[in-house]
Amino acid sequence: MIILNLKNLMKRKSAATGKKITYTDIEDATGISYATLSRINSTVGYNIKIDHIEKLCRYFGCTPNDLISIYDDPKAFTPNS
C-alpha cells in the first residue's frame, strides 16, 4: 500500500516555521487546488500526478521518499499519524 505523507509534512513545516500550514497556504504556493490536497491527504492510494509530487516536494523542501511511504501490511499503517 502506498501512502502520501502530506499531513506529516504539513506538521513538520508548521513546527519549523512556527506558523500553521494550511491547504490554502499550499494551494497559493503550488497551484494545487484545495480539493486535490484534501483528497491527497484523505484517500488511501490516491493517484497523484507526477507534477503534483514535484510541486509538493519543492514546497516542503523534501524528496519523493519523504512524501511517499510504502507499507507491505495495510494493518501497519496508521492514518494521519
CATH of the domain at 30: 1.10.260.40
User: Is 68 within the bounds of a domain?
Assistant: yes
User: Is 80 within the bounds of a domain?
Assistant: no
Q: What is the DSSP letter of 76?
A: G
Task: Supply 80's cell numbers.
Answer: 494521519
- Residue 25: domain span: 2-75
DSSP E strand boundaries for the chain: 2-4, 68-70
Q: Which amino acid is at 46?
A: Y
Q: pLDDT digit string (tens) for 17-41?
A: 999 999 999 999 999 999 999 999 9
Q: Into how many domains does the chain fold?
A: 1
Number of helical (H) and strand (E) elements in the chain, helices listed first: 5, 2
Q: pLDDT digit string (tens) for 44-74?
A: 888 999 999 999 999 999 999 999 998 886 6
- Whether 67 and 8 have beta carbons less than 8 Å apart is answered as no
Full-model pTM: 0.85
User: Is 62 within the bounds of a domain?
Assistant: yes
